[in-house]
Chain A
Amino acid sequence: MTKAHPWMANSVPSIQQEMLSALGLNSVDSLFSQIPEDHLYAKPFNLPPQLASEVALSRHLDDLMRKNVTCKDSLSFLGAGAWPHYVPAICDEVANRYEWQTSVFGSPTSDHGRNQAWFEFCSQIGTLVEMDFVGLPVYSWGCAIGHSVRMASRMTGRRKVLVTEVMDPERLSVLRNYCEPREMARHIEIVEVAIGADGCIDQNDLKSKLDDSVAALYFETPSYHGVIEGAPGTLCDLARTAGAEVIVGVDPLSLGLLEAPGAYGATIAVGPTQPMGVHMNAGGGVGGFIASPDEERYASEYNTLNISIGETIKEGEYGFGLTLFHQSSYGSREEGKDWTGNSVYLWALANAAYMAAMGPEGFAEIGRLIMARSRHAAKAIDGLAGCSVDLSRPFFKEFVVTFEGEKVADVNDALRKRGIFGGKDISGEPGADGQCMLVCVTEAHTEGDIARLVSALKEVLA
């Protein structure tokens, strides 16, 4: 290396020489004496050339990334786990603050601000779902389901979870890994409950499957297909009567309008955090939360890091620090609850700023707007020849379009040529009768966007 590297302060040769001199050495090689000779790799590395110049690197990244077509270049109706919600500018500013973007984990005093912000993330989730105990977020909604199912299994000593037959295959695949293969001694069986013609859980089928072997019932409202469950409280009652925990997955942006799971008897609430101030990031924006009553039997099963408010040694002053650390894998290795590691804590700060700026009226307003826009889109699409939407189902944000003759893959190809990303192709999935597309419409879509989709679909289906 001929020049000092901008990211390595001690790459200045004279500094290295001085440090070596302080150790009485001439070269660094002897510092590696612990590694046996036959462990060393002697061949040259076949790596692309160094781009230490920022201008050259920047150009390279731009050239590479320009091969993408983004959801801003094109009009997109893709949702299903990553949703095109508007990200208020303050959320980016908060999440990009150098202080908490770059560091890892300090003390409750020196990193007081971040600890407080984490507590505020949990507090605001708590009021949205009406539950008192909230952990720091986990990797994703699917991971939140996985951890909470395992919580329920440990709490009840039972090894079966009921899920709905219509479930996002991404989340279901994640859950399957958490439930372990059949060959393993602690395998948790996943049993599917039927979905009725109305898109809601078939209560008779649920009743027939609930018994004292069931650790938990897991359902979502709105569901994967966007359907709002009409009687979530009844489902919770049925499951709790059987001694099972009830884990409910919710879209936080629906909670200005839809009842909080804590209010109708859910015992654990989970959901995605990406809708609240985080970009889709090619799927890298996902995150998940877990909430429950603040009772020891729940609290003692969390795998998450948990932040509590508490007193400092100065009268009247408050701080925030870890509680229940010992039950994490950091505290107890394999004796801990599942495992804990890096998660999406930076996104939690964007989420906190989002919830604080939105307030109760912001959540109600965005809920109404999403419902109005998605309903408007569904009606217009249903009015087209060659496809239909079941408008009798109350839905939030996402709905299923069924095509009569065309294949969704072909429709999407044709839409793409017109600068539109159609909805997710769910043909062949459970609950999708024939050729089906899951369309997502949010507050970020204008009426003009919807008109463009409808007119393009009309052309394609003609």
Chain B
Amino acid sequence: MTAPIANRTKAQFTGFQAPRWAEPVVMEMGCPGRRGVVFDDAPAPDLPKGAIRKTAPALPELTEHDALRHYLHLSQMTLGMMGVSLFGTCTMKYNPRIGERAALEHLADLHPLQHPDTLQGVLELYDNFSDFLCEVSGMDQFVFQAGGGADAAYTHACVTRAYHASRGELEQRDQIITTIQTHPCSPATANTAGFEVITLSLEEGGYPSVEQLKSVIGPRTAALMVNNPDDMGIYNPDIKEWVRLVHEAGGLCFYDHANFNGVMTRLRARELGFDACMYMLHKTFGAPKGGGGPAVGAYGCAEHLVPFLPSPLVVKDGDRYTLDDDRPQSIGRVREFWGNAPQVLKAYAWARAMGAEGLRTAADISVLANNYMDKRLSEVKGVSRSNPDVTAPRMEMTRHSVEQVTKDTGCTIVDISNRMTDFGIDALWLSHEPWLVAEPFTPEAGELWSREDIDYWIDVMEHVIHEAYETPEVVKTAPHNAPIHQIKGADMADPAQWATTWRAYTRKHAKRLAAE
């Protein structure tokens, strides 16, 4: 990775070494009496006896510099986007720094319960961005309360309950239909919301047939929750008919637009008939992922579901914006307040910088880059594409398999992914459960990464697979250039040994610690 980009593509695979700081667990650092933050003195308060803390928390005692340096060392030992990350299903994008700066400068010190007159900027932002997403999707209203894509799926499950309850049909409509290739958040949130989940299996062409769908819909159908295209890059061409059939049975249709990147500006959820859809702003719309949030699942719906949306809703009253919390049919809150406003601002900034023409270009580039990868990967020994019967070009990502490599060499996709990190390639996205494709991996180039980056990524994979055939032990014992060596894992799965806190660790491993 230290080589100039032009040389990287010539398979110059030496030179990368991840930062490696011998950084103890923070609980072991510092010494009694040291301080990282101090406050003015105040007298000890008069507290009820039963409420007084007896033992001070066993937190570390560090200087401010030590605390900062420790976490900066840890940040340096995080490869992520510093290398090349084609982490599929997550649409790795550049997170523009302008959004970060603007959010910190303008939103950090806003309180959600301020009088709306003092929130006109952020409420206008919400209204403008709702309009933007409505135009892109055909929906009538978007809300940003959900703290991630899964939370938006949960929002839909809650809206589904309220919709059917308002018609006196909730008791009867207790089933939600999804497909095995739909993200786990749809069945999981449907189940949490109290529905029975029906999962359709794949058939010829890589998606369930209309007949299979017909066999499960009926008076108990509350909703359909699906994504399209799926993570194989396969588009279900019957989706309009699916929506028609579910509507005919009285159910609602929710489009998990997780894989929106390849179809931006080419299709709209509402025109396909869907009642509601969801975009992940931390994914498709350029806001950062934060290693797992704060995120936003922007949930949009058509007019007939608006009364049920979470509250409060931003409404425009003349040239003034207010927050409407007096909505009797609303599901209330799925999370406190009205959403991760900084992420909404960053996504809005991204969307404005792209415009309609930028969205189209990004979609085109994403699909082009994926097909370019498909072509090159098809020439790599031992790599095969999922659903070989589907010969049409895939959308913005494709699931592949190294099953043949594993059969030939014993090196699994996890081994190969670990070894690829030795060359500055972020760990691969493999597949959601269940693994229908053996030894899977799912790269997604998106519009950010250059052809040179993509070529380098494939060069590395080719090189590592070559190693698997020639020197499999090097691959199986990888990584070698990472901050630490392979973890054993068995102890982390053993209740007698696992420890999610330092307290648990010192209790369970007291003997060993004493010996050290």
Please tell me if B328 contacts chain A, counting CB pairs below 8 Å: no
Contact of A394 among B47, B132, B292, B503 (CB under 8 A): B47
B433 with A126: CB separation less than 8 A: no
A374–chain B nearest beta-carbon distance, Å = 10
Find B192's partner among A117, A233, A338, A346 (CB 8 Å cutoff).
A338
Known: A50-B356, A81-B336, A103-B80. Contact between A76 and B111, CB under 8 A?
A: yes
Instruction: Flag if B113 contacts A310 (CB, 8 Å).
Output: no
Residue of B nearest to A170 (CB): B336
Asked if residues A34 and B235 are in contact (CB atoms below 8 Å), the reply is yes
Q: Among B85, B120, B479, which residue has its beta carbon within 8 angstroms of that of A103?
A: B85
Question: Across the interface, do B36 and A310 meet the contact criterion of CB distance under 8 Å?
Answer: no
Distance between B436 CB and nearest chain A CB, rounded to angstroms: 13
* Residues of A close to B237: CB separation below 8 A: 34-36, 39
Range of interface residues on chain A? 35 or more
Do the beta carbons of B54 and A263 come within 8 Å of each other? Answer: yes
* Nearest CB of chain B from residue A183's CB, rounded to whole Å: 4
B263 near A: Cβ within 8 Å? yes
CA distance A234 to B50 in the complex (A): 9
User: When chains A and B are docked, how far (Å) is the Cα of A30 from the Cα of B364?
Assistant: 11
Q: What are the residues of chain B within 8 A of A356 when measuring CB–CB?
A: 26, 29, 36, 59-60, 62, 67, 70-71
Name A371's closest neighbour in chain B (CB-CB): B45
- The residues in B between 394 and 415 inclusive whose CB is less than 8 angstroms from any CB of A are 394-395
User: What residues of B have a CB within 8 angstroms of the CB of A443 in the complex?
Assistant: 39
Q: How far is the CB of B498 from chain A (nearest CB, A)?
A: 4
Looking at B94-102, B213-221, B462-470, the stretch in contact with chain A turns out to be B94-102
Which listed segment binds A: B7-15, B245-253, B299-307, B488-496? B488-496
Interface string of A8-44 (1 = CB under 8 A from B): 1111000110111011000010111111101111001
The answer to whether B381 has its CB under 8 Å from any CB of chain A is no
Query: Known interface pairs A48-B355, A50-B354, A255-B53. Does A112 touch B194 (Cβ–Cβ under 8 Å)?
Result: no
B75 touches A68 (CB 8 A): no
Docked-complex contact A174 and B188, CB < 8 angstroms? no
Whether B125 lies near A64 (C-beta < 8 A) is yes
Q: Are B484 and A340 in contact (CB under 8 A)?
A: no
B18 adjacent to A68 (CB under 8 Å): no
Asked whether B426 is an interface residue with its Cβ less than 8 Å from the other chain, the reply is: yes
Q: Flag if B47 contacts A45 (CB, 8 Å).
A: no
Known: A33-B393, A111-B427, A140-B335. A357 touches B290 (CB 8 A): no
Provided the pairs A9-B453, A19-B372, A341-B150 are in contact, do residues A359 and B74 lie with their beta carbons within 8 angstroms? Answer: no
- Please, which residue of chain B has its CB at the minimum distance from the CB of A5? B358
Residue A162, interface by CB 8 Å:
no
Complex CA gap A398/B501 in Å reads 31
Chain A residues lying within 8 Å of B449, measured Cβ to Cβ, are: 9-10
The 8 A CB mask of B30-61 against A (1 = contact, 0 = none) is 10001111111111111111111111111111
B276 at the interface (CB under 8 A from A): no
Q: Could you tell me if B355 and A286 are in contact, using CB atoms closer than 8 angstroms?
A: no
Q: Known interface pairs A106-B80, A183-B165. Does A61 touch B336 (Cβ–Cβ under 8 Å)?
A: no
Cβ of B252 to closest chain A Cβ, rounded Å: 16
User: Does B334 make an interface contact (CB < 8 A)?
Assistant: yes
Query: Could you tell me the distance in whole angstroms from the C-beta of B99 to the nearest C-beta in chain A?
Result: 8
Given known contacts A31-B393, A113-B74, A139-B147, is B492 in contact with A310 (CB within 8 Å)?
A: yes
Total A-B pairs, Cβ < 8 A? 750
- Chain A, range 406-438, C-beta contacts under 8 Å to B: 412-413, 416, 421, 424
Contact segment of A189-197, A201-209, A211-219, A360-368 = A360-368
Residues of B within 8 A of A349 (CB): 71, 291
Closest chain B residue to A9, Cβ basis: B450
In the complex with contacts A81-B337, A97-B75, A259-B52, A15-B451 CB distance below 8 A: yes
Given known contacts A109-B483, A366-B39, A142 and B335 CB-to-CB distance under 8 angstroms? yes
Most buried by A among B240, B491, B497, B501: B501
Chain A neighbourhood of B313, CB < 8 A: none
- Evaluate contact between A99 and B57: CB separation under 8 angstroms: no
Partner of B185, one of A116, A311, A329: A329
Given contacts A110-B479, A127-B503, A371-B42, contact A67 B124 (CB under 8 A): yes
Contact in complex: A50, B27 (CB < 8 Å): no
Q: Which of A68-107 contact B (CB under 8 A)?
A: 68-72, 74, 76, 78, 80-82, 84, 87-88, 90, 92-94, 96-107
When the two chains form their complex, are residues B288 and A102 in contact, meaning their CB atoms are under 8 A apart?
yes
> Cβ of B100: which chain A residues have Cβ within 8 Å of it?
96, 101
Closest to A7 in B: B94
The answer to whether B190 touches A107, judged by C-beta atoms less than 8 angstroms apart, is no
Question: Which residues of chain B are within 8 angstroms of A60 by Cβ–Cβ distance?
Answer: 352
Interface bits A115-146 vs B (CB < 8 Å: 1, else 0): 01101101111111011111110011111000
The answer to whether A70 and B122 touch across the interface, beta carbons within 8 angstroms, is: no
| A47 engages B355 (CB within 8 Å) | yes
Residues of B within 8 A of A340 (CB): 150, 188
A23 engages B371 (CB within 8 Å):
yes
Partner of A124, one of B59, B102, B447, B482: B59
Contacts A333-B187, A394-B46: A112 and B482 contacting too (C-beta < 8 A)? Answer: yes
Within 8 A of B (CB), among A306-357: 306-314, 317-324, 329-334, 336, 338-347, 349, 352-353, 355-357
Stretch of A51-59, A239-247, A378-386, A451-459 on the interface side: A51-59
Q: A119-B500, A180-B193 are in contact. Are A136 and B292 (CB under 8 A)?
A: yes
A310: chain B residues at CB < 8 Å are 487-489, 491-492, 497-498
Residue-wise interface mask of B (154-197) relative to A, using a CB-CB cutoff of 8 A (1 in contact, 0 not): 10001001000100001100100000000011011111111001
CB-based contact A39/B98 at 8 Å? no
Contact A132 B501, beta carbon cutoff 8 Å: yes
B295 on the A face (CB < 8 A)? yes
Q: Across the interface, do B122 and A360 meet the contact criterion of CB distance under 8 Å?
A: no
On whether the beta carbons of B495 and A296 are closer than 8 Å, the reply is yes
Q: Which of B161, B293, B427 has the most CB of A within 10 A?
A: B293
A182 and B170 alpha carbons, distance in the complex (Å): 10
| Contact call B62/A50, Cβ cutoff below 8 A | no
Task: Say how far A158's CB is from chain B's closest CB, in angstroms.
Answer: 17
Tell whether, in the assembled complex, residue B367 and residue A31 are in contact, meaning their CB atoms are under 8 Å apart: yes
Q: Which residue of B lies closest to A20 (CB)?
A: B368
Find out whether the CB atom of A94 lies under 8 angstroms from the CB atom of B75: yes
Contact across chains for B502 and A123 when beta carbons are under 8 A apart: yes
Cβ contact of B30, chosen from A16, A346, A359, cutoff 8 A? A359
Residues 412-444 of chain B, each 1 if its beta carbon lies under 8 Å from chain A, else 0:
000001100100001100001100000000000
Closest to B97 in A: A98
B269 nearest in chain A by CB position: A41
* Complex partner residue of B51 from A35, A123, A228, CB under 8 angstroms: A228
A128–B53 Cα distance when bound, in Å, is: 10
Residues of B within 8 A of A185 (CB): 174, 194
Q: Chain A's nearest CB lies how many Å from the CB of B1?
A: 13
Q: Is B108 an interface residue (CB 8 A)?
A: yes
Asked whether any CB of chain A lies closer than 8 Å to the CB of B81, the reply is yes
Nearest CB of chain B from residue A430's CB, rounded to whole Å: 16
Q: Which residues of B contact A339 (CB under 8 A)?
A: 150, 153-154, 184-185, 188-189, 191-192
Q: B189 contacts A68, CB within 8 Å? A: no
A residues less than 8 Å from B288 (CB atoms): 101-102, 346
Cα separation A108 to B442 with both chains bound (whole Å): 19
| Contact (Cβ within 8 A) B427 A107 | yes
Inter-chain CA distance A318–B487, complex, in Å, is 8
Within 8 Å of chain A (Cβ to Cβ): is B499? yes
B347 at the interface (CB under 8 A from A): no
**Residue B329 interfacial (CB < 8 Å):** no
| A-B CB contact pairs (8 Å), 23 listed | A39-B267, A39-B271, A41-B138, A69-B114, A101-B95, A101-B288, A106-B78, A123-B502, A126-B501, A282-B337, A286-B335, A329-B150, A330-B433, A342-B148, A342-B289, A342-B294, A343-B147, A349-B71, A352-B71, A357-B68, A371-B45, A394-B51, A421-B111
The 6 closest A-B pairs by CB, nearest first: A103-B80, A341-B150, A50-B355, A283-B337, A346-B290, A357-B36
Known: A111-B77, A114-B75. 5 other contacts (CB 8 A): A7-B354, A54-B353, A258-B51, A332-B433, A334-B188
